[in-house]
Amino acid sequence: MQFNNLIYTVILIALSSCSNNKQTDGVKTAQVIKPLYETDPVEFDTDDPAIWVNPNDPSKSMVIGTDKDSNGALYAFDLKGHIIPGKIIKNLQRPDNVDIAYGLLLNGKKVDIAVVTERITHKLRIFELPSFSPLDNGGIEMFIGETGDLYRDLMGIAMYKNPKEEVFAMVGRKSGPSGSYIWQYQLEDAGDGKVKATLVRKFGAYSGKKEIESIAVDNELGFIYYSDEQFGVRKYYADPKMGNKEVALFAISGFTSDHEGISIYKTSGKTGYILVSDQQANQFQVFSREVENGKHIHLMNIKTSTNFSDGSDVVSIPLNADFKHGLFVAMSDNKTFQYYRWEDLAGNILDVN
C-alpha cells in the first residue's frame, strides 16, 4: 500500500538523522518530541506562525508569527528562534492568523507578502517580505455588509496561488453562517503598488459546535482544508470555478476537543501528510495527503511538547544544517513558537492504522 511505503521511507530518514545528530534537544523520545529551538517570547500571546522561505538563500528564511492582543504585533524570527531586529510590526489590533503568498504582481514586479487578519478592525493587513513594508493603505475591510454577532471578527487566513499565478485569500471569522462561513478574495495591484481585494465567493459548511479558525491550502493539488472545531476537518476546491461542494470530511473522531492548526508536509507533487492539532491532547494527528477509497487515512499521532497548540506551519524542503528535511513550527501557550525537525516528528509514530 502506498501509504506504508511513505511511512517506511520517512522512518528511515528519521532514524538515520537522529543517530547521527549529537544535539540533545530535538532528539526523539519515547513519548514526547521536544523542539530543536523555541523562539524568544512575545509580549502577549502567540497564536499563528507562517514560514517564509528565502528564495535566494533558504538558510536566511524567517518564521512570521502573530502576538494576539488588542495592542498586538507581527514578529519575524530567524531559524534559531531569535526575534529579528527591525522586523516587528507593532500596534496591530488583535492580529490572529498569518499566511504567506509568493510572487504577487505589484508595479510590474513580483513580491512576496505576509497577510494578517486583524480581528478588532475587521481588516486584512498586508506586508511585503522580507522588508515588512505595508502594502494595504492601512488595511482592507473584510465581510462588508455582515451584521451578525462576531460575523466580521477576523480569524483564519490561508493564501492560494493558482496555475495562472492569481493570488487569493481565504478568510474566516469568529462566527458565521453554515454555507458561507469563509469568504474568498482575489488580491491584486490596486494601480498604485498597493493591494486591493475583490470578493469572488462565499463557501464553507459549519457544524455550529464552536468556531472555524485554522485554514490551510494545498496549492499544488488545489484544495482547501479547515478545522470545524470539535467536529472535523472539511475539504473544498480552492478554485471558485470548481464549485462549493464539500469534497471530503475527515478527522471526525478521536480528538480530545478542538481541531486546530492544519499543516501540509509534501513528499512529492501529490503525496505527503496533513498534520492537525489535537489541541487539548498536546499532540498532532497525522493523515495522508492523498486519498484512498475517497478518504484521508489516519496514519499516526505525534506527541509534542507544545501546550494547547493553536496555529502551525511546515515546509518540506531543506533550509540549513538544522532542518535538512524540513521545518515544523507550532504555537505553544508560553508566548513562544516551537521549531521541530521533520525527521524527529516522523520518527515518533505512536499509532499506524
Whether 127 and 116 have beta carbons less than 8 Å apart is answered as yes
Side chain identity, residue 72: G
pLDDT, tens digit, for every residue of 233-262? 999 999 999 999 999 999 999 999 999 999
Q: Which one, of 333, 317, 321, 345, lies nearest residue 52 by Cα?
A: 317
Q: What is the pLDDT of residue 213?
A: 97
CA distance 56 to 62: 13
- Statement: residue 14 has pLDDT above 60: no
Whether 135 and 128 have beta carbons less than 8 Å apart is answered as yes
pLDDT band at 31 (very low <50, low <70, confident <90, very high): confident
pLDDT band at 22 (very low <50, low <70, confident <90, very high): very low
Burial pattern 50-67, b for ≥16 Cβ within 10 A else e, equals bbbbeeeebeebbbbbbb
Q: How far from chain centre, in Å, is Cα 30?
A: 27
Sequence-distant (≥ 6) Cβ neighbours of residue 46 within 8 angstroms: 39, 65, 66, 67, 68, 331, 332, 333, 335, 336, 337
Q: What is the pLDDT of residue 27?
A: 39
pLDDT, tens digit, for every residue of 276-319? 999 999 999 999 999 999 899 999 999 999 999 999 999 999 99
pLDDT, tens digit, for every residue of 165-214? 999 999 999 999 999 999 999 999 999 999 999 999 999 999 999 999 99
- Statement: residue 24 has pLDDT above 90: no
Per DSSP, the residues of 61-88 read -EEEEEE-STTEEEEEE-TTSPEEEEEE
**Half-sphere exposure (Cβ direction) of 201: Cα atoms closer than 13 Å:** 15
Q: What is the pLDDT of residue 33?
A: 95
Q: What is the pLDDT of residue 66?
A: 98
Q: What is the pLDDT of residue 347?
A: 74
pLDDT, tens digit, for every residue of 81-135? 999 999 999 999 999 999 999 999 999 999 999 999 999 999 999 999 999 999 9
Whether 301 and 346 have beta carbons less than 8 Å apart is answered as no
Task: Provide the whole-model pTM.
Answer: 0.91
Determine which of 13-17, 111-115, 295-299, 326-330 has the lowest per-residue pLDDT on average: 13-17
Q: What is the pLDDT of residue 91?
A: 97
- Statement: residue 11 has pLDDT above 50: no
